A and B are shown apart, each in its own frame.
Chain A
Amino acid sequence: MIAVAMSGGVDSSTAAVLLKEQGRDIVGLSMQLWNQRRSLPGDEVASEEQELKRSGRCCSIDDIWDARRVAAHLDIPFYVLNLEDEFEKTVVAPFVGSYLAGETPSPCILCNNYVKFNHLVERASQIGAEKVATGHYARVRHDQALGRWLLLRGKDTRKDQSYFLFGLTQDQLSKTVFPLGELSKPEVREIARCAGIPTFDKPESQEICFVQSGSYADFVEKYSGIQQDKSGSIVNAEGRVVGEHAGIHRYTVGQRKGIGAAGKPQYVVQIEPGLNHVVIGENSLLQRKRFALRDANWIAIETIEKLDGPIRCDVQIRNRFEPQPAAVWMEDGEVLVEFDSPQRAITPGQAAVFYWDEVVVGGGWIKS
């Protein structure tokens, strides 16, 4: 039996359609991740209106309803699993912690690593499913020669989501099916339409699903219960104070921040959590070649430690970014990456994913 992670959207619904057409025994699972009724510290008792507003995008009750409708349409068993505690522990709290530490987190990757491909897979095996399918645009393949499970970019490179999946372990990959890996988005929509999927033209979710109304910064403040003044100094590259900020969690490296003395635009070039400083400077200061990585996960190779020299690969440092050639090696217990040419805004907290063409070598989190 294969468990299909269903969000009600066109992608996961089509994944279910394809597996069903192949005659596989499937069960639909939706995850309830963030309780809309939960109030955050600092909230008054939520009014009904606020409760309504709290319904988010990818994990809202509406989406679960959509998923249920699709499952009913396909006539497959369907269940909602409550993974709220796991989601809060492994996605929401680290998301907030990351911002407070001056980083820019990627919650969707955390959710894939720790919720979808960890707890969901575990729950699926409890109910007798050997594999879990999702609607991601990516491919999994077992390589006999290497004796390893490989993760590849989706055939539709514009929709490819392998970047978000770099954290999958060999065990997780062995239990994963990506039915959309060989398809393009228009093809997927067409399959959904022909199969009569009621949500075939539903728009895609973009926002961070648990941050609903207001900005992510408001969410971070509310969730962490920030009471005290988080304001600090904005300094220039020479260390001179040039202004004041309202909390480092409100800034992201590369973000434009006013106009400098010489009439040149100024950008956030660094965030210093220890000093509570936001450092700004000219665009040229954002150009860097080298960075260190934490919590690396290797897919196409066993580990980098056993290799003699650096490996060459193309490195992607955020979602929309053309991978650039670089060398990756291990030094003093740390994974280091050096691009052949400087790149703009290498942002701590974002993921760096290594590719050999369409094969994901591995990846990790940008440390500094």
Chain B
Amino acid sequence: MRRVYLDSNATTPIRPEVVTAMMPVLTEHFGNPSSIHWFGQHAKSMIDDARQHVARLINAESSEIVFTSGGTEADNFAIRGMAESQKAKGRHIITSKIEHHAVMHTCQDLEKQGYEVTWLPVSRDGAVDPDSVRRALRPGTILITIMHANNEIGTVQPIEEIGRIAEEADVYFHSDGVQSTGKIPIDVRRLKVDLYSMSSHKIHGPKGIGALFIKKGTILKPLLTGGGHERNRRSGTENVAGIVGFGHAAKMARESMATDMARVGELRDLLEAALKSRIEFIHVNGENAPRLPNTTNIMVDYAEGEGLVISLDLKGVAVSTGSACSSGSMEPSHVLTAIGKTPDEAHGSLRLSLSALTTREDVEYVIEVLPGIVERLRDLSPYYKKV
């Protein structure tokens, strides 16, 4: 069966070049980077190269990059670390209602520990208003954490403006950049973030590896203590193969982002336009806000997202409804709820996310099979017959 993968915000296929770059680490270059000998030195230098590639992707310095086990750990490290380091100063955190669970559940956990969290609402298009951040600031505010690009609807937040506000107020600013990294140009200096989370598997690298950008001079209490790896910020023998893969993926993303994403954006627009013209009663969520070029989240009235996803899968097309993690529970996605969708509307939403490896044929195949599936589901819907 033909398989089309349009779930790149959940994860992406590893680029073959990345696999090639990782192979030596999985075979002869197995050394522990902390060792003094040749084996260790070799591993160490591969990590240093990778660190440089990741740093360059976001215009950071190598020394500002700390490798973690992924985006989730980077988010936890940033938020918990800051909450701990700054608790003498205050216990108030500002975040948004559309964060990834890695941020949302971490903030909720801190609420239980006595921190106060302001959950900023978003517009119907899924954008945080920078002014609302300004208004939420108060003397005890120790951290602002607002994601750069949303994983479900792809909206890009005004990070630069929020960064300016944070700088003026002298409050630390973290942004979850897991979805934006490698898809849009990022300059942490211009964004004025102090902390920025990244994850390798969203940019064609391996899973289980990510990084946190920690601006020079920022004090952050480590989550993991031990042998003092990563300059005492994250102990544990490094996942060398993962780091090397991530580094190579970051290098490739930097080199080809401009052309890849221009092409991906065109394909996404083609997909949206074709689906809109072939299927009645569909809407694109977040359409009027700045969005990632690779993501479209469409709401299909009179059809169930679960039925759509399974039917598409049976035709070889991989997409998701809600966010990947929340599939499996019937709680409507908190992101779609935050942009004002009813639970029914949220359950009828479909996320299609493309990547640099998506082809025009992939998109055309989806355009071909989706209308028939929607029609079948609607024929069975008691609500559709009435319209």
Q: Is the CB of A77 within 8 A of B306?
A: no
* Bound CA span A1–B315, Å: 13
Q: Is the CB of B314 within 8 A of A77?
A: yes
Contacts A77-B313, A77-B314 given; does A126 touch B307 at CB 8 Å? yes
* Bound CA span A121–B275, Å: 28
Q: Is A43 an interface residue (CB 8 A)?
A: no
Q: Is the CB of A80 within 8 A of B314?
A: no
**Which A residues touch B307, using CB under 8 A?**
123, 126-127
Q: Is the CB of B304 within 8 A of A82?
A: no
Q: Is B310 an interface residue (CB 8 A)?
A: yes
* Bound CA span A122–B379, Å: 12
**Which B residues touch A123, using CB under 8 A?**
306-307
Q: Is B235 an interface residue (CB 8 A)?
A: no
Q: Is the CB of B306 within 8 A of A81?
A: yes
Q: Is the CB of A84 within 8 A of B330?
A: yes
* Bound CA span A125–B380, Å: 8
Q: Is B376 an interface residue (CB 8 A)?
A: yes
Which residue, of A27, A32, A82, A122, has the highest number of chain B Cβ atoms within 10 A? A82
Q: Is the CB of A80 within 8 A of B328?
A: yes
Partner of B377, one of A1, A32, A82, A126: A126
Q: Is A342 an interface residue (CB 8 A)?
A: no
**Which A residues touch B330, using CB under 8 A?**
82, 84-85
**Which B residues touch A82, using CB under 8 A?**
306, 328-330
Q: Is A128 an interface residue (CB 8 A)?
A: yes
Q: Is A79 an interface residue (CB 8 A)?
A: yes
Q: Is the CB of A27 within 8 A of B380?
A: no
Partner of A126, one of B313, B328, B380: B380
**Which A residues touch B306, using CB under 8 A?**
81-82, 123
Partner of B380, one of A1, A85, A122: A122
Q: Is the CB of A127 within 8 A of B329?
A: no
Q: Is B311 an interface residue (CB 8 A)?
A: yes
Partner of A27, one of B314, B329, B377: B314
Q: Is the CB of B310 within 8 A of A127?
A: yes
**Which B residues touch A125, using CB under 8 A?**
380
Interface set, chain B 291-321, CB cutoff 8 A to A: 304, 306-307, 310-311, 313-314
* Bound CA span A81–B313, Å: 14
Q: How large is the interface on B (under 10, 10 to 19, 20 to 34, 35 or more residues)?
A: 10 to 19
Chain A nearest CB from B91 CB (Å) reads: 22
Interface set, chain A 71-92, CB cutoff 8 A to B: 77, 79-82, 84-85
**Which B residues touch A79, using CB under 8 A?**
310, 313
Chain A at the B interface: mostly helix, strand, loop or mixed?
A: mixed
Contacts A81-B306, A82-B306 given; does A126 touch B311 at CB 8 Å? yes
Q: Is the CB of A128 within 8 A of B376?
A: yes
**Which B residues touch A84, using CB under 8 A?**
330
* Bound CA span A81–B304, Å: 12
Which residue, of B307, B311, B377, has the highest number of chain A Cβ atoms within 10 A? B307
**Which A residues touch B313, using CB under 8 A?**
77, 79
Q: Is the CB of A126 within 8 A of B304?
A: yes
Chain B nearest CB from A131 CB (Å) reads: 15
Interface set, chain A 237-272, CB cutoff 8 A to B: none
**Which A residues touch B329, using CB under 8 A?**
35, 82
B377 to chain A: closest residue by CB: A126
**Which B residues touch A81, using CB under 8 A?**
306
Chain A nearest CB from B74 CB (Å) reads: 25
Partner of B314, one of A35, A122, A128: A128
* Bound CA span A27–B377, Å: 17
Q: Is the CB of A127 within 8 A of B380?
A: no
**Which B residues touch A77, using CB under 8 A?**
313-314
A27 to chain B: closest residue by CB: B314
Interface set, chain B 204-259, CB cutoff 8 A to A: none
Contacts A81-B306, A122-B380 given; does A127 touch B328 at CB 8 Å? no
* Bound CA span A35–B329, Å: 9
* Bound CA span A127–B311, Å: 5
**Which B residues touch A27, using CB under 8 A?**
314
A25 to chain B: closest residue by CB: B314
B313 to chain A: closest residue by CB: A77
Chain B nearest CB from A91 CB (Å) reads: 16
A84 to chain B: closest residue by CB: B330
* Bound CA span A27–B313, Å: 11
Interface set, chain B 357-387, CB cutoff 8 A to A: 376-377, 380
Interface set, chain A 126-159, CB cutoff 8 A to B: 126-128
Interface set, chain A 94-134, CB cutoff 8 A to B: 122-123, 125-128
Chain B nearest CB from A174 CB (Å) reads: 16
Contact string, A172-209, partner B, CB cutoff 8 A, digits 1/0? 00000000000000000000000000000000000000
* Bound CA span A84–B310, Å: 18
**Which B residues touch A126, using CB under 8 A?**
304, 307, 311, 376-377, 380
Which residue, of A27, A32, A85, A128, has the highest number of chain B Cβ atoms within 10 A? A128
Contact string, B70-112, partner A, CB cutoff 8 A, digits 1/0? 0000000000000000000000000000000000000000000
* Bound CA span A79–B312, Å: 12
* Bound CA span A79–B376, Å: 19
B328 to chain A: closest residue by CB: A80
A61 to chain B: closest residue by CB: B328
Chain A nearest CB from B297 CB (Å) reads: 20
A1 to chain B: closest residue by CB: B314
**Which B residues touch A122, using CB under 8 A?**
380
Chain A nearest CB from B184 CB (Å) reads: 34
**Which B residues touch A35, using CB under 8 A?**
329
* Bound CA span A84–B311, Å: 21
Interface set, chain A 27-68, CB cutoff 8 A to B: 27, 32, 35
**Which A residues touch B314, using CB under 8 A?**
1, 27, 77, 127-128
* Bound CA span A342–B175, Å: 76
**Which A residues touch B380, using CB under 8 A?**
122, 125-126
* Bound CA span A279–B310, Å: 53
**Which A residues touch B304, using CB under 8 A?**
126
* Bound CA span A122–B307, Å: 10
* Bound CA span A82–B313, Å: 17
**What are some 30 contacts across the A-B interface (CB < 8 A)?**
A27-B314, A32-B328, A35-B329, A77-B313, A77-B314, A79-B310, A79-B313, A80-B328, A82-B306, A82-B328, A82-B329, A82-B330, A84-B330, A85-B330, A122-B380, A123-B306, A123-B307, A125-B380, A126-B304, A126-B307, A126-B311, A126-B376, A126-B377, A126-B380, A127-B307, A127-B310, A127-B311, A127-B314, A128-B311, A128-B314
Add 18 more A-B contacts to A79-B313, A82-B329, A127-B307 (CB < 8 A).
A1-B314, A27-B314, A77-B313, A77-B314, A80-B328, A81-B306, A82-B306, A82-B328, A82-B330, A85-B330, A122-B380, A123-B307, A125-B380, A126-B304, A126-B307, A126-B311, A128-B314, A128-B376
Closest 4 CB pairs of A and B: A126-B307, A82-B330, A127-B310, A127-B311
